[in-house]
Amino acid sequence: MKTTPVASASQLGSRAWKAALATWPTLLAILFVIYALNEAQYHLMPLLAFVLSLVAIFFHMGRTRGALTYLRGGEITFSHIGSMFPYWKQVICYTLWEGLFVFLWMLPGLFLLGMGFLMIYSATGDATITMSVAAASGTAIAGIVILTIGLVLLLVLLFRTSLNYLLAGCCIIDDPHMGGLAALEKSKQLMRGHRWRYVCMSFPFVLMFIVVASIQVSFAQEMISSAGHALFSLLNIIPQLLSTYLIPVLYQELNDRA
């Protein structure tokens, strides 16, 4: 195993930033197609919307494949957007496995959330007799405590699990035939010790998402027309464009040293 130290979070973030600025025309075209696809889902029947959501997964993975190609000295082109369709079985299998694993990791938090809700509902439903008010209040307080613990646990587990499987898509792109479970395991191994590195390198991009969301909320009341809403929804493309290379840059760095 190579002993060369991994680049710092700021260095990795800088690589992602420069790569996005260097290829923004192509990325903008790809992201606009994905944006149009996502918008169309809100105006179609559930079955067609579901099909489009699957197509969007392939488009996103195609964008990531193009980003990896560029980082390896190639050229990202619009044709990358559909480059993962030949491996549709592998992509769907990996997506299902990832969803199942994330759900299983969330179960402890979901269990505590459900228990807390039941205790609160039970307390408020039984607190109709004066003599049982004290006991019911205690049950309600306990339910709120359990509910809070469950919510915190759910968020922590979801965050940690998402980081563990962050690079699985890149693993599938590099070797579509490795299987969904193998991709998830490889991602977990690559991310071991580097989760906080990704949090640090992505922090400026997260701030951009927050700023864009704040602008949308601030002007939501004034933008009555559908054209106005669409215009401000397009703002989401900007942080998506600039953050395109975050995961590919980290994957390339860690995979080279694995």
Mean local confidence (pLDDT), 101-106: 93
| Dist CA 258 CA 29 (whole Å) | 34
CA 18 – CA 9 distance, rounded (Å) = 14
In angstroms, what CA-CA distances link 75 with 26, 65, 109, 140, 226? 10, 11, 44, 60, 36
Distance of CA 85 to the CA centre of its chain: 21
* Mean pLDDT, residues 76-83 taken together: 93
- 181-203 pLDDT tens trace: 999 999 999 999 899 999 998 88
Tens-place pLDDT, residues 136-167: 567 777 888 888 899 999 999 999 999 999 99
CB atoms within 10 A of CB 5: 7
**pLDDT reading at 25 higher than 90:** yes
Of the pLDDT bands very low, low, confident and very high (cuts 50, 70, 90), residue 44 is confident
